[in-house]
Structure 1
Amino acid sequence: MMGPMSLPTVAIGALGGTIASTSSATDGSEIVPTLSAERLAAAVPGLGELASVRAETLAQLPSPSLDEPTIVRTLAWAQAAVDAGAQGVVITQGTDTLEESSYLLDLFWDRPEPLVVTGAMRSPQAAGADGPANLLTAVRCVLEPDSRGRGVLVAFDDELHQARWVAKTDSMSTSAFRSAGFGPIGRCVEGEVVYGVPADRVPALSLSAGQEAGDPRVPLVATYLGDDGYVLEAIRAEDVDGVVIAGFGAGHVSARMAEAVGRLAGQVPVVFASRTGSGPTGRAMYGYPGSEIDLLARGAVGAGWLLPVKARLLLWAMALRGPVTRADVVREFEVRGRP
């Protein structure tokens, strides 16, 4: 879909998801990703009047089937699109993993041009489909000069979120995305993108040639009532590049699990995060076995304000670039785990 040559160019890369899903059933059930990037763009009213769109289908996958190597390849595609003259890039995908893929892109996005991720909660065939509106907002976000230098953003339900903080907080609602603790940084109102905070972001991580082909193993282990460390004990240090624990409250675990944390932390990076969904890990309040003070003493590192899935992606991204020391983890999480 191409508009007049005088219009700014926006690249749209489609990965699949609900926004691209259709159904052959009479009741609209059992939807699967089928629509191309070109068809997605063509279905958005008024899009051709705003930008000259270069749309490309990168994948047609439900979001649970996306993985880190796919997102790293998407990153390379987006960088090439900007280098070829695009004013910015929009990525469409399923919502289940959108909070993770957007943050992984953000960790490595080293261009000032906007990269905006969006999707939909309702399929194109559903009454009140939200995909076209979200895609239009994402393109408007790319075209807004104040979007430059903000890293990767998520556009959803007329709100703009930083990839570092956004999370899917509802399984069905069209307003499924929230940034707990900080809120959205901008809105799209009557076609105008408005930001409430100045552009400010942590510098992107660098990738050398060949590093992007890796695929580190960094499991995420969530603790629970009565956790005796059984799952964590089953992880062999030689099989992983790091481990992230989703702990109680400010990042706490049971006394028995703390022993497993100490065993692993002596061999590979171990990060503990809070499973609560909002608020940071502690540093100096509690002193019982399994508390934040205890875990820090055993060699683990607190994730700060990062959600467990974000903490895992940061550790994964660090491991993608090569061997990681505890000092490396402390440094990066100190910078990227706080507002």
Structure 2
Amino acid sequence: MSTSHLPKVSVGSLGGTISMTPESGQSGIVPTLSASDLISSIPGVSELAQVQAEALNQVASIHLKPSDLLTALDWAEQQVANGAAGVILTQGTDTLEESAFLLDLLWPHEEPLILMGAMRGAASVAADGPANLLNSIQVAISANSRGRGVLVVMNEQIHYARWVQKKHSLSLAAFVSDVGVAGTLVESQAVYFSAPPKRVTYARPSAATKTVLLWLNHLGEHSDLLSQQDTLDPLGEKFDGIVFAGVGAGHVSTITARWVAKWAKLKPVLVCTATGSGSTAFTTYGYPGGEIDLQNHGAIMGGFLSPKKARLLLWVILENNLDAQAAIKDYLNSMTY
């Protein structure tokens, strides 16, 4: 029977748990399955779409680099140019939210780009990879998915890249969105709860030339270390931008605030909340290291951005030689109405 009337979907595999099986002579599971192997594990997929599968990489997601994701982006754009209704990238879940967000910043197309993975290895009892991949194909071919940028499909839920976070280390329900899921699967159909969101996209960086440091703030920060100017001055010089994962609504210690004030004169400094939910404050706290003090010394508050995603946004902005203050403000405005 001819399948030429069916929509085209391209699946590129990058590795991760979804591709992992036990290997003789080695402890634990490792990436072994290709994109074609993953597709062959789904019965009836040929009745849904014309699926093209290609192995792009085969590593644990913590081993992926921005350059790997830019290569995957180029591949995905070529699939759209060749007529794909949607593109799916399979990868490990440990850095999936970061990969999805970075690609969302660089994906201007109406066709959906979907990232997905699995919480259980392919040889496990009740492995979730095949179901997640089937759901991803169903989302990819849905007209409702157009114009929504990069989506994450896991556990029968659809998430926007900007909001999704992995909030459990092992559970099948590991992925959640702070503001609620974008949609879900009902009887094999993608259903969304709102119209497509406002989006901001950027030019693809030609190379990874900038570096952004992510600094986690905490109780009793190392005051002895932070007092050593000869140690931290060179550290600040090594990075083109710095993101602080602040406590509470985006706060740092008094001694860290001094470094924020110094570094913000030289490079973009972004302060986010590390709580995992909610926005930074902007005009509430006036004590040293509070958001009013930090902004008075040149820091940029990260709003609803998680620290990990703020680091990627700042990296893309710097690679595009944009004004960080203005560009981040524009992006934050796109997150709410």
Question: Which band: TM-score by shorter chain?
Answer: over 0.9
Does 1:188 find its partner at 2:182?
no
Could you tell me whether the CA contact under 8 Å between 2:198 and 2:335 is conserved in 1?
Answer: no
1:202-213 correspondence runs (5 A): 202-207=199-204, 211-213=205-207
1:22 corresponding residue in structure 2: 21
Partner in structure 1 of residue 138 of structure 2: 140
Report the equivalent of 1:258.
257
* Structure 1, 184-193 or 272-281: larger mean CA deviation: 184-193
Percent identity of equivalent pairs: 43
Q: For 1:224-269, what per-residue CA distance to the aligned partner results, in whole angstroms no more than 9, with x for missing partners? A: 1011464693653432110100000000001110001111111010
Taking the aligned partners of 2:286 and 2:71, their CA distance within structure 1 comes to: 44
For the 8 Å contact 1:247–1:272, the answer to whether it is kept is yes
Q: TM-score, normalised on structure 1? A: 0.93
Alignment partner of 1:161 is 2:159? yes
Separation in structure 2 between the aligned mates of residue 34 and residue 321 of structure 1, nearest angstrom: 37
Partner of 2:281: 282
Q: Distance in 2 between matches of 1:286 and 1:314?
A: 26
Quote how far apart the aligned CAs of 1:16 are: 0.1
Tell me, which stretches of 5 or more residues in structure 2 are unaligned? Answer: none
Q: Where does residue 216 of structure 1 map in the other structure?
A: 210
Residue 292 of structure 1 aligns with which residue? Answer: 291
Give the conservation status (yes or no) of the 8 Å contact 2:248–2:275. yes
Q: Deviations over 1:187-238 (max 9, x none)?
A: 002211111111123131123xxx3222421010001101146469365343
Are residues 1:59 and 2:53 paired? no
- Which position in structure 2 is the counterpart of 1:198? 195
Give the alignment's Cα RMSD to 1 decimal: 1.9
1:216–1:240 contact (8 Å) kept in structure 2: yes
2:294 & 2:102 partners in 1: Cα distance? Answer: 26
1 CA distance for matches of 2:330 and 2:31? Answer: 36
8 Å CA contact 1:19, 1:94 repeated in 2: yes
Offset of residue 334 of structure 1: 3.3
Secondary structure of 1:328 counterpart: helix
Cα distance between partner residues in 1 of 2:330 and 2:234: 24
TM-score after normalising by structure 2: 0.94
Conserved 8 A contact 2:23-2:30: no
1:4 is paired with a residue whose SS is coil
Say whether the 8 Å CA contact 1:304–1:338 is kept in structure 2: no
Distance across 2 between alignment mates of 1:313 and 1:158: 27
Q: Distance in 1 between matches of 2:9 and 2:60?
A: 24
Matched, 1:301 2:295: no
Residue 31 of structure 1: how far off its partner (Å): 0.6
For residues 65-92 of structure 1, the C-alpha deviation after alignment (integer angstroms, 9 at most, x for no partner) is 0111111111111111001111110010
Aligned residues: 332
1:34 to partner: Cα distance: 1.1
- 1:55 Cα offset (Å): 0.6
Tell me which residue corresponds to 1:172: 170
Partners of 1:197 and 1:235 in 2: CA distance: 48
- Contact 2:318-2:324 at 8 Å conserved across structures: no
